[in-house]
Structure 1
């Protein structure tokens, strides 16, 4: 088995384990993930921060089982960090010593700024590049990181968290007191001057999941979902006013009922205070940040330029027997540069086209027959990182192919077509991709094929093009485009 790293994140509310497996130098995927609502901070905030015996017992038992899971994957490293509840607790050393004694595990209690940094580098590496403010609302605290030009800049931590606000205010039905407490804490923040807020953590994911269901959003991916402040705040306003029955109808899970409203209130006050207007959900956070800081420790905690770990993982795992996709990518890029203008394709789509070309044959790693359908499925479900939802859907859709059909005629009736560009663009990109594919039918090197364009005609020259001539009839070209083999 390839090298695995396990990361345990002990939060104030939940404890999580993620097992990461490397497939090459920087590529990875998650093999296993588990969450336990241990609530190590339960009743701590009303007892001067002291961890309570029952909460420590729950957490110790869960850690034992987490370690058993990690060992089952032969994890070469087990990295364990703890956040707000343990860094605030006067009796934290009692718990840390117990875990060291019972499980031989060293827990690293990290500062609020370090917690913010881990969340920040996870978003900087695993979301599309954007200037934004990351906000991680946890059980005991909220962490902030400013992202500029792909780098993590300002870091900040405030003692406003869901469990803390619940125990100090919501349990006493003192909502005005909670608002005043949160707003007073937010005055400590510097001016971030960011229009986009990236939400990290269970509260933001729970709201996003519910909003996506309410809006019947076509793509089932939390990571990278975006909305605006009007839609988000309109929905969170309904949550704050809802009873248990209404919360169910708003798609909030019962295990969130007692903490969702404090979390919603914190997020609302943060959004209004920072004046952010675009909201993005992050499916990654501290765990991924801890893993990446280890993986990329010799690379400044950043992936190399233009590197996508999800694409590399798919190639490592499903395209190990052929470089056909890489050759198609080289040829697709050349064809795009020739045809983008005459076919009226926006130049921004070259990026998605090239990735789709690289992934053309990954479905063969599942089963050769109907491999295009398998390639589509793998891309739709495993392209998680550093791509927007629209990019994921376009790349995945371009991998679908049916002889004699245009690409637009294959758009799913389930509704993800709303995330695609117009039909003419989809068909033109598909035609370029399929043309590169058949020109590589004899598995030659892309450099052996010469292509040029003049007055609606693509001229093709090269050796070993007999199969390509035969297969040209299988694809639908734009009406104003002809291919001639010279």
Structure 2
């Protein structure tokens, strides 16, 4: 697969392009993202579904600029898909041929089932594992799929979309007509009981972003943001009764004013029908990422990453770890100390995953600058540890790296993230383990030659190596109450 790949998604509301760079076989990161609100099917639904010349020109111009951007990044592969805006249009071939001739770009028009599949592939690989119903609200259609035990099942595309509903019902102020049409389409959805709803697409992200601001949520990260169905339903009630001035005060962007109500009504009616759904998860990924992953992971069983592989962790290791041996030593020592002590200090074993990843990633900031390296590590992890983690895991891992080799996490920091961090005692204990592991490696050994035991609240450390710097580093640590370290 090409090292740098551009993926273009021509939707009904917007055309978008993402550019990804591989850092190793399955690791990648986002280099660039751009979108244009082209509204390709604007006025089409009033004209027999035919695309109108002005909308086609807007989209053509956007694609021309996209290709220029892709060229500037030296993208070796460009994948372009189009969804309901083109597949529903009787005159779609006119636009496809024009783009092929004028821009040398081949557009692949995908059907609704494929669109649903791509979105679900992105969610099943790039969100924390959970059985869920996915919903992807577009301008012309809405796609659904079920993710069960990590596999995509029951994909479905319905003729529901924000632009479609706007032009057919909302522009005529026929809200009840829109409601009846939505429910007629939702009758086709499989009646599988499930508690999680994953939201894909601009409408769901716009609502989630506004709810984050309303809740004064402490972490500025939309992907993997979780909240209750009750919160969404209450917020949608405000949206449906709001004028443009009120929509702005609810933190809805002006470019969403005309389509936020149709999209909100789809979600509202779905939640009324699916009363078993109580937890909502926001996805920052969708069709584009699904197209990219299908290419990246072709040949992999079930289109998934290898076992115990995370693309964000591997990207950070590939890009920012100078001494991989040292990073691995930190992870191994931290795991060993945790295994020896967690039961005695009543620490849930579930925190071991975050601890080991935090230990392995803690040196990444040093590659930017030695001074303030912990702060650099903290920032990189908080922003770039994007895929496959809950917000609780991300902020915990970032916190552990921020305070590695330092004092215990500051009370002000714990308070700021109190709703998504474990209690102060747990954060302090885990942070100490990484700090102790860093101190035990102060002499930067090439091989681990430690024997560590634990009894009576004391860690017994023995080694035949010269540990002068190690002992000095351990003396400067801030110990949790009751823990001691003795050298033999």
Fold shared, TM-score > 0.5 on shorter chain: yes
Note the 1:44-59 alignment, pairs <5 A: 44-59=44-59
Note the 1:215-226 alignment, pairs <5 A: 215-226=215-226
Aligned to 2:80: 80
Q: Does 1:333 align with 2:341?
A: no
Alpha-carbon contact 1:353-1:395 (below 8 Å) kept? yes
Alpha-carbon contact 1:310-1:383 (below 8 Å) kept? yes
Aligned-partner Cα distance in 1 for 2:329–2:163: 53
Q: Deviations over 1:353-384 (max 9, x none)?
A: 00000111000111001211111111111111
Deviation at 1:272, TM superposition (A): 1.8
- Pair 403,152 (structure 1): closer, same or farther in 2 beyond 3 Å: closer
SS at match of 2:160: coil
Aligned-partner Cα distance in 1 for 2:53–2:82: 17
- Pair 133,459 (structure 1): closer, same or farther in 2 beyond 3 Å: same
Note the 1:110-125 alignment, pairs <5 A: 110-125=110-125
SS at match of 2:60: helix
Deviation at 1:403, TM superposition (A): 6.5
Q: Does 1:484 align with 2:460?
A: no
Q: Deviations over 1:456-475 (max 9, x none)?
A: 11011112422111101221
Aligned-partner Cα distance in 2 for 1:268–1:325: 47
SS at match of 2:145: strand
Report the number of matched residues: 484
CA-based RMSD of the aligned residues comes to 1.3
Aligned-partner Cα distance in 1 for 2:255–2:480: 53
Aligned to 1:430: 431
Q: Deviations over 1:49-97 (max 9, x none)?
A: 1111111111011100000001111101000000001111111111110
Aligned to 1:247: 247
Deviation at 1:322, TM superposition (A): 4.0
TM-score by length of 1: 0.97
Q: Deviations over 1:276-310 (max 9, x none)?
A: 11101000000111000000112132111121111
Note the 1:31-110 alignment, pairs <5 A: 31-110=31-110
Alpha-carbon contact 2:414-2:424 (below 8 Å) kept? no
Aligned-partner Cα distance in 1 for 2:246–2:307: 47
Aligned to 2:471: 469
Alpha-carbon contact 1:389-1:419 (below 8 Å) kept? yes
Aligned-partner Cα distance in 2 for 1:347–1:403: 23
Aligned to 2:375: 373
Deviation at 1:393, TM superposition (A): 0.4
Q: Deviations over 1:222-256 (max 9, x none)?
A: 10011111111000110010001110110000010
Aligned-partner Cα distance in 1 for 2:95–2:315: 38
Deviation at 1:192, TM superposition (A): 2.5
Q: Which moved more, 1:73-82 or 1:430-439?
A: 430-439
TM-score by length of 2: 0.97
Aligned to 2:350: 348
Q: Does 1:158 align with 2:158?
A: yes
Aligned to 2:202: 202
- Pair 321,337 (structure 1): closer, same or farther in 2 beyond 3 Å: closer
Q: Deviations over 1:4-49 (max 9, x none)?
A: 1000000011100000011111111111100100000101111121
Alpha-carbon contact 2:80-2:108 (below 8 Å) kept? yes
Aligned-partner Cα distance in 2 for 1:464–1:270: 66
- Pair 410,239 (structure 1): closer, same or farther in 2 beyond 3 Å: closer
Unaligned runs of 5+ in 1: none
Alpha-carbon contact 1:38-1:58 (below 8 Å) kept? yes
Aligned to 1:295: 296
Unaligned runs of 5+ in 2: none
Deviating 4+ runs (over 6 angstroms): none
